[in-house]
Amino acid sequence: MLVTITDDFDLKKIAASGQCFRVKEFEDGLFRFITGNHILYIKKCEEQLYEISCSSTEWEEIWFYYFHLDRSYEEVRGRIGVRDKYLRKASEEGRGIRILKQDPWEMVITFIISQQKTIPSIKSCVEALCLNYGDKITTAYEEIYTFPTAEQLCPATIEELREYKLGYRAPYISDATHKISSSKVDLQDLYTRSDKKVFETLKQISGVGDKVSNCICLFAYGRTRLAPVDTWIKKVIEKEYKGKNPFPRYKDAAGIMQQYIFYYALTHKKELA
């Protein structure tokens, strides 16, 4: 079926934005997204018109919110002041990026894995976990494995996890698996909690510090007041903002502004070297 998307929306930029690690781009401009047991194939047909593989009900109940289409990013970009030339430039280049509302459990594990790893390495580790512990789904385009649930991953020993190039992260993943499968950390309960409560609760998991917790808050729970600060963002803050974090001034759009700058930093690494 076809859907119309009138706000900022660019599949290629979303896929390259560093917030999701299981997106696949096919040669003909088709993209695959997966969340839980739901798989979406989506392709741009013409301006604002997209062909999707799911039903209208699934689009409205899952993917519409997954792509954060209930918020105008055009309005968000309009908040950037004329004096903030760097962010204006970054937002124009990153126009079309969306903050994806992904599965909290998957975000916990993938952002623990992300520490000190390149994006291709993260993707490789994530796919290894899916292949060995997830469920196989056959679609018209491919065979794909779901991200394993906490219960599916629970039997894996630290030694077994290390076989998938997880290194020092293996004990962290084991800790996350057991705390979440036992509901010691209740990810579903966090949907109704304050930003601060979500942020602090996630840090009860070994290996989840400020940066990783902020990433989970933003990319799973849609807490757009929170803006993760990694190595690239730190470089931008030092070079372009004289060491002063620019994101808090944007309040409930801070995380979106951070994503524009993060994407711009990824595509202009030489400028920050």
| Interval 172-187: pLDDT, tens | 999 999 999 999 999 9
Average pLDDT, the chain: 96
Q: Kindly report the CA angle at 263 between 149 and 32, in degrees rounded to 5? A: 45
**Of 11, 18, 6, 13, nearest in space to 92 by CA:** 13
What's the confidence (pLDDT) of residue 13? 97
pTM (predicted TM-score): 0.95
Q: CA-CA-CA-CA torsion for 95, 270, 231, 33, nearest 10 degrees? A: 40
**Would residue 211 show up in a list of annotated catalytic residues for this protein?**
yes
Residues of the chain with pLDDT > 70: what percent?
100
The residues facing 42 across adjacent strands are 31, 52
Residues 245 and 229: beta-carbon distance below 8 Å: yes
Is the per-residue pLDDT at 273 higher than 80? no
**Could you read off the pLDDT of 32-64 as tens digits, one per residue?**
999 999 999 999 999 999 999 999 999 999 999
What's the confidence (pLDDT) of residue 205? 98
* Candidates 89, 211, 234, 235; catalytic one: 211
Measure the CA–CA gap between 228 and 262, rounded to whole angstroms: 10
- Give 193's pLDDT tier (boundaries 50, 70, 90): very high
- Give 268's pLDDT tier (boundaries 50, 70, 90): confident
3-7, 117-121, 241-245, 259-263, range with the lowest pLDDT: 117-121
What's the confidence (pLDDT) of residue 116? 86
What's the confidence (pLDDT) of residue 258? 97
Q: Two tokens at 6?
A: 């009138």
- Give 270's pLDDT tier (boundaries 50, 70, 90): confident
Which DSSP string do the residues of the chain spell out, in sequence order? -EEE--SS--HHHHHTSSS-S--EE-TTSEEEEEETTEEEEEEEEETTEEEESS-HHHIIIIIHHHTTTTS-HHHHHTTS-TT-HHHHHHHHHTTT-------HHHHHHHHHHTTT--HHHHHHHHHHHHHHHS-EEE-SS-EEEPPPPHHHHTT--HHHHHTTT-GGGHHHHHHHHHHHHTTSS-TTGGGGS-HHHHHHHHTTSTT--HHHHHHHHHHTT--TT-----HHHHHHHHHHSTT---GGGGGGGHHHHHHHHHHHHHHTHHHH-
- Give 255's pLDDT tier (boundaries 50, 70, 90): very high
Is the per-residue pLDDT at 97 higher than 90? yes
What's the confidence (pLDDT) of residue 75? 97
Classify 104-219 by CATH class: mainly alpha
Residues 218 and 228: beta-carbon distance below 8 Å: yes
Residues of the chain with CATH 3.30.310.260: 2-72
- Give 269's pLDDT tier (boundaries 50, 70, 90): confident
Residues 8 and 73: beta-carbon distance below 8 Å: yes
What's the confidence (pLDDT) of residue 142? 96
Rounded to 10°, the helix 104-113/210-219 angle is: 140
Rounded to 10°, the helix 170-181/104-113 angle is: 160
Q: CATH for 2-72, among 1.10.3080.10, 1.20.120.80, 3.30.310.260, 3.40.50.2300?
A: 3.30.310.260
Measure the CA–CA gap between 67 and 41, rounded to whole angstroms: 13
Residues of the chain with CATH 1.10.340.30: 104-219
